[in-house]
């Protein structure tokens, strides 16, 4: 608080120096009287007056200078004044100046300097400590603020209302509810809550930041007088903890009490509107803000408005708000970039990022995080890498924990999993978000084993999974058909009550059980859900469809409709995808037409499913027509997955020229799966030259792509180029590309899962299984079967190659099923990789020999073997 000149003089007179001066003056006056020298006395009196005036002027000058520095945040000038104060000796003699210097350093963010000044003062009081505690709290250093509070008390000083208010802020920052409650008790016992208005808002804010919203509400309800600050604290607390409805209720209640909202109230309420996607309420608040002219005056509001519109999906309105601003800041740009990214508009988000930079604004951690999300959506790994370089050069990765997860997520979505792994390995602090991003990436790209490895490593790091982690890990369990691990996660989820809280987990569990072939368990999960939705129904429909249970899939589809759920793109895509995996292209196409007749427009996922059906059945003309209609009729821009389907379609049909033209049409061919699809076709048709080109591009993009090495090795082996095949295998090992072992599973009537890998010998019935295989081998040879040795690319003796082929995981699983089930009973096997050509031929013949229907779901499609034929028509 500013002092008058008389206050300054009074203060100087009570300081040590002033007292010394007064004592000197008394001595001089006494001396003058005793010596009777009036002229000398007058001269000393005049000098004393001049000294007092000089010191008062210097004090006033320092004080004014420091306050100006605080307003301008001019740290350089503060340091200069500090030096002058130290040289003048005033700092040690005047506590008011010392307190001011501590406060100014703290306001400028120079907290270490503020602490040094405080430590050097001969006398400290509550005001001194308040300045430093406030500085730490204002700059987010809650732990340090609490440390100062405890030290102040150890020095025997009693906190005042300001001390308590700043310390409560620190409790909110550190989420230290216990300390906050102790301070609340102290305040109440001293009767301060009625005297100091500042404490009411501070208490509400502390409880809200600690997410104890019931207590925050109770404090507010108990106040005799409520003001905008206290209401703001509670509204902000509800909004920050995703309780949009409660935040809006507080806003309306505050208005009924006759209080006018300020900019903070509006900003928090707009956040609540975004959470609830209440566009109507958001627009009403926008009108109020505009009518009061607040948009240009309150820096917090433009970003809040853009964010609200973006969260409500009104991206055009969000853009319009931003475009109309005379001054745009990083916060408002961040809100728009985040909105575009959250709604899958990666191109627009990147456009905003570039526009923001052209305006001369520097991105912050939030900007980078949202832009990395956009890079992931666009699979623009080059742009993502440039941002990674910027982040690293600014040292932001260690400061902003959000960026670690954003980088991992971007690389994972771009399929650059080795880079995603490298990022997480290099983080000094890993959190659930970064681990979940990597687990999701591995699972999304079919690397179930690696995803589960990350899940276990995360737990070893002492981190607890959240709903997203569990959902991604369940996907990995489905990929690896690890139903035991899936069941353990199911138990964890149930014990934490997460199934009712996180809707995503119901569908994830159903999907996991379905992929593991445990369809009864999948059905049981759906039946047990208190709230079923289209997602959970779609997961079960897909499960039945993918396992060849068309009747059950259609039954689920109809039951879902009878319960009042309208099928959406996901449901239809599940049904179409199921037919596609079985090679039932006609049914898939009929479903596609039925869907449109019902009024549901296809989306990108639907097109991926129906193009996949055409690919698996060799329907070239239909596939081309559908692909062309995406852009022309439905306005859907084909993505990399659609191009991959087309390359697969033409490649399988041996139309390599058309497959290459599709790749040339792509905006960017830097996508490993598209080259793997071409490699798969080259393996089928033994096209060595094109296979070599596809292989080189695949490993250029990802040298750890083990599937590419395996396919190329098989191409060389099939062409009789054994040495070249061995060289590829050596390259794979040298580059650290880990080959995923083939795993097959059969689930018996009791629900027990029998798992097999090639050459498996640890099964309790191994002896009987291998005897059965020998018996089948003899019967197969009588049917004219001869092992296709080129499927083994290793340079080993022929007998060893034959033995390896005989011991493939799917053959072991089939033999196990035969010896454990009645004759002619259907057998269902799942495999984590594609069935090799030799096993496909052998299984067809086994179905004829054993007079059984054998259903094999591999990584690519569903094969239904019956009477010596496969549903795919040998169109693998």
pLDDT bracket for residue 50 (50, 70, 90): very low
Q: What is the pLDDT of residue 546?
A: 78
Q: Is 191 left (phi over 0), alpha (psi -120 to 50) or beta?
A: left
Q: Does the CA dihedral 167-170-174-180 come out positive or negative?
A: positive
Beta bridge partners of 854: 827, 865
pLDDT above 70 (res 836)? yes
Instruction: Decide if 156 is inside a domain.
Output: yes
Instruction: Decide if 88 is inside a domain.
Output: no
Same domain for 214 and 291?
no
Tell me how many domains the chain contains. 7
Domain finish residue from 530, 564, 589:
530
Q: What is the pLDDT of residue 20?
A: 38
Same domain for 777 and 862?
yes
Instruction: Decide if 540 is inside a domain.
Output: no
Beta bridge partners of 862: 857
pLDDT above 80 (res 796)? no
Mode of pairing for the β-strands spanning 854-857 and 869-870: unpaired
373's tokens: 């999300």
- Whether 854 and 847 have beta carbons less than 8 Å apart is answered as yes
Q: What is the pLDDT of residue 42?
A: 54
The mean pLDDT of the chain is 89
717's tokens: 């082996």
Q: What is the pLDDT of residue 69?
A: 81
Same domain for 233 and 184?
no
pLDDT above 80 (res 623)? yes
- Whether 746 and 754 have beta carbons less than 8 Å apart is answered as yes
Same domain for 245 and 193?
no
The distance from CA 514 to its chain's CA centroid, rounded to whole angstroms, is 26
Pairwise CA distance, residues 282 & 305, whole Å: 8
Q: Name which of 101, 80, 103, 106 is nearest 91 in CA terms.
A: 101
Instruction: Decide if 137 is inside a domain.
Output: no
Pairwise CA distance, residues 45 & 28, whole Å: 9
Q: What is the pLDDT of residue 38?
A: 59
Residue 736 neighbours by CB distance under 10 Å? 10
Which domain, by its residues, includes 10?
5-50
**Element at 802 (helix H, strand E):** helix 798-806
Domain finish residue from 189, 222, 255:
222
- Whether 193 and 187 have beta carbons less than 8 Å apart is answered as yes
Same domain for 277 and 338?
no
pLDDT above 80 (res 874)? no
Q: Does the CA dihedral 566-568-574-576 come out positive or negative?
A: positive
Please indicate whether residue 18 or residue 805 has the higher confidence score (pLDDT). Answer: 805
pTM for the whole thing? 0.69
510's tokens: 């159903």
Same domain for 176 and 262?
no
Q: What is the pLDDT of residue 39?
A: 54
Same domain for 232 and 257?
yes
Q: Check residue 827 and report its DSSP letter.
A: E
Instruction: Decide if 129 is inside a domain.
Output: no
Q: pLDDT per residue over 631-675, tens digit each?
A: 999 999 999 999 999 999 999 999 999 999 999 999 999 989 999
Same domain for 186 and 275?
no
């Amino acid at each position: 608080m500013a002092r008058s000149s008389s206050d300054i003089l009074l203060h100087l007179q009570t300081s040590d120096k002033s007292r010394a001066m007064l004592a000197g003056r008394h001595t001089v006056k006494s001396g003058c009287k005793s010596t009777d020298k009036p002229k000398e006395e007058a001269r000393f009196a005049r000098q004393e007056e001049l000294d007092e005036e000089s010191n008062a002027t210097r004090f006033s000058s320092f004080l004014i200078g420091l306050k100006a520095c605080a307003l301008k945040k001019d740290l350089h000038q503060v340091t200069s004044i500090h030096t002058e104060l130290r040289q003048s000796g005033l700092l040690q003699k005047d506590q008011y100046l010392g307190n001011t210097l501590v406060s100014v350093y703290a306001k400028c963010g120079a907290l270490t300097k503020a602490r040094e000044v405080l430590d050097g003062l001969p006398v400290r009081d509550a005001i001194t400590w308040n300045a430093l505690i406030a500085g730490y709290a204002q700059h987010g250093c809650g732990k340090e603020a609490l440390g100062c509070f405890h030290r102040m008390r150890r020095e025997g000083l009693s906190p005042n209302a300001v001390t308590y208010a700043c310390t409560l802020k620190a409790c909110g920052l550190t989420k230290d509810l216990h300390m906050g409650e102790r301070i609340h008790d102290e305040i109440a016992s001293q009767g301060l809550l009625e005297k100091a208005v500042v404490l009411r808002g501070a208490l509400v804010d502390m409880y809200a930041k600690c997410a104890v919203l019931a207590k925050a509400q109770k404090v507010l309800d108990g106040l005799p007088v409520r003001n905008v600050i206290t209401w703001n604290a509670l509204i902000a607390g509800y909004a920050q903890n995703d309780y949009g409805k409660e935040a809006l209720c507080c806003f309306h209640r505050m208005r009924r009490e006759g209080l006018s909202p300020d900019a903070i109230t509006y900003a928090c309420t707009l956040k609540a509107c975004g959470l609830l996607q209440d566009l109507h309420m958001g627009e009403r608040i926008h009108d109020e803000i505009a009518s009061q002219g607040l948009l240009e005056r309150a820096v917090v509001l433009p970003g809040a408005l853009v964010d609200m519109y973006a969260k409500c999906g009104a991206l055009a309105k969000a853009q319009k708000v931003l475009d109309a601003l005379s001054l745009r800041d990083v916060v408002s740009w961040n809100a728009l970039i985040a909105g575009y990214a959250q709604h899958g508009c990666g191109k627009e988000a990147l456009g905003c990022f570039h526009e923001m930079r052209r305006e001369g604004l520097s991105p912050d951690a939030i900007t980078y995080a949202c832009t990395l999300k956009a890079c992931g959506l666009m699979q623009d790994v080059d742009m993502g890498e440039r941002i990674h370089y910027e982040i690293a050069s600014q040292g932001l990765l260690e400061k902003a924990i959000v960026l670690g997860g954003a980088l991992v997520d971007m690389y994972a979505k771009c399929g650059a999993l080795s880079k995603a792994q490298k990022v997480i390995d290099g983080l000094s602090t890993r959190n659930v978000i970064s681990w979940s991003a990597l687990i999701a990436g591995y699972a999304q790209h079919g690397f179930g084993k690696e995803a589960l490895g990350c899940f276990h490593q995360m737990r070893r790091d002492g981190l607890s999974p959240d709903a997203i982690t569990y959902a991604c890990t369940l996907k990995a369990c489905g990929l690896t058909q690890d139903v035991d691990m899936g069941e353990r996660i199911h138990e964890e989820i149930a014990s934490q009550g997460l199934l009712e809280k996180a809707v995503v987990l119901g569908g994830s569990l159903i999907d996991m059980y379905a992929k593991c072939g445990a369809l009864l368990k999948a059905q049981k999960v759906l039946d047990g859900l208190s709230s079923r939705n289209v997602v959970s129904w779609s997961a079960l429909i897909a499960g039945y469809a993918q396992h060849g249970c068309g009747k059950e899939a259609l039954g689920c589809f109809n039951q879902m409709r009878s319960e009042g759920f309208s099928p959406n793109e996901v449901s239809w895509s599940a049904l179409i995808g199921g037919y596609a995996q079985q090679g039932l292209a006609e049914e898939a196409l009929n479903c596609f037409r039925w869907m449109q007749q019902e009024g549901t427009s296809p989306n990108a996922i639907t097109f991926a499913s129906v193009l996949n059906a055409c690919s698996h059945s060799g329907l070239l003309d239909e596939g081309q027509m559908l692909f062309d209609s995406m852009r022309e009729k439905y306005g859907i821009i084909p993505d990399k997955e659609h191009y991959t389907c087309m390359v697969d379609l033409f490649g399988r049909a041996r139309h390599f020229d058309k497959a290459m033209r599709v790749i040339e049409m792509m905006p960017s061919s830097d996508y490993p799966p598209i080259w793997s699809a071409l490699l798969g076709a080259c393996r089928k048709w033994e096209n060595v030259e094109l296979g070599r080109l596809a292989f080189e591009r695949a490993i250029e993009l990802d040298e750890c792509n083990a599937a590419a090495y395996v396919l190329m090795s098989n191409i060389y082996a099939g062409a009789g180029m054994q040495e070249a095949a061995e060289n590829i295998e050596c390259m794979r090992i040298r580059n650290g590309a880990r080959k995923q072992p083939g795993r097959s599973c059969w689930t018996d009537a009791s629900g027990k899962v029998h798992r097999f890998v090639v050459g498996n010998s640890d099964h309790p019935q191994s002896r009987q299984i291998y005897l059965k295989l020998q018996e089948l081998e003899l019967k197969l040879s009588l049917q004219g079967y001869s092992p296709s040795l080129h499927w083994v690319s290793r340079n080993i003796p022929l007998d060893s190659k034959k033995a390896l082929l005989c011991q493939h995981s799917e053959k072991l699983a089939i033999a196990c099923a035969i010896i454990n089930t009645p004759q002619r009973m259907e057998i269902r096997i799942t495999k984590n990789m594609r069935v090799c050509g030799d096993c496909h031929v052998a299984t067809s013949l086994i179905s004829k020999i054993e007079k059984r229907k054998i259903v094999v779901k591999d990584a690519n499609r569903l094969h239904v073997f019956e009477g010596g034929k496969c549903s795919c028509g040998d169109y693998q």
